[in-house]
Amino acid sequence: MKNFKFSKRGLLFFLMFVAVLALPFITDALLGRGWVRIVDFAMLYIMLALGLNIVVGYAGLLDLGYIAFFAVGAYCYALTGSPHLALAFPQLFPDGVHLSFWIVLPMAAMLAGGMGVLLGAPTLRLRGDYLAIVTLGFGEIIRIFMNNLNAPVNLTNGPQGISRIDPVRIAGVSLNTTQSVFGITLPSVHLYFYLFLGFAALVAFVSHRLEKSRIGRAWMAIREDEIAASAMGINTRNLKLLAFAMGAMFGGVSGTLFAGFQGFVSPESFSLMESVMVLCMVVLGGMGHIYGVILGGLMLALLPEMLRHSVVPLQQAMFGKVIIDPESLRMLLFGIALIVVMLYRPAGLWPSPVRRRELASDEAAERV
Partner 1 sequence: MSLLALSGIGKQFGGLHALSEVSLHIERGEIYGLIGPNGAGKTTLFNVITGLYQPNAGEFRFNGCSYQAAKPHVLAAAGIARTFQNIRLFANLTALENVMIGRHVRTQAGVFGALLRNKAVRLEERACRARAHELLRYVGIEKPSQTLAKNLSYGEQRRLEIARALATEPLLLALDEPAAGMNATETEALKALLQGIRKTGVTVLLIEHDVKLIMGLCDRVAVLDYGRKIAEGVPEQVRNNPAVIAAYLGADDE
Q: Which residues bind partner 1 (CB under 8 A)?
A: 206, 209-210, 212-218, 220-221, 224-225, 227-236, 242, 246, 354-355, 357-358, 361
DSSP run (H or E) holding 166: none
Nearer to partner 1, 163 or 230 (CB): 230
Distance of closest approach, residue 109 Cβ to partner 1, in angstroms: 14
In a 10 Å sphere around its CB, with 0-12 CB exposed, 13-18 middle and 19+ buried, how is residue 77 labelled? buried
Nearer to partner 1, 30 or 231 (CB): 231
347, 355 Cβ separation under 8 angstroms: yes
Distance of closest approach, residue 110 Cβ to partner 1, in angstroms: 14
Distance CA 55, CA 216 (A): 11
Nearer to partner 1, 129 or 224 (CB): 224
Distance of closest approach, residue 79 Cβ to partner 1, in angstroms: 28
Nearer to partner 1, 213 or 310 (CB): 213
Distance of closest approach, residue 106 Cβ to partner 1, in angstroms: 15
Nearer to partner 1, 143 or 355 (CB): 355
Distance of closest approach, residue 206 Cβ to partner 1, in angstroms: 6
Nearer to partner 1, 220 or 329 (CB): 220
CA angle 281-195-58, nearest 5°? 35
Helical ranges in the chain per DSSP H: 2-31, 33-52, 67-80, 85-88, 101-120, 128-148, 188-211, 214-224, 226-231, 236-262, 272-285, 290-319, 326-344, 353-367
Distance of closest approach, residue 86 Cβ to partner 1, in angstroms: 39
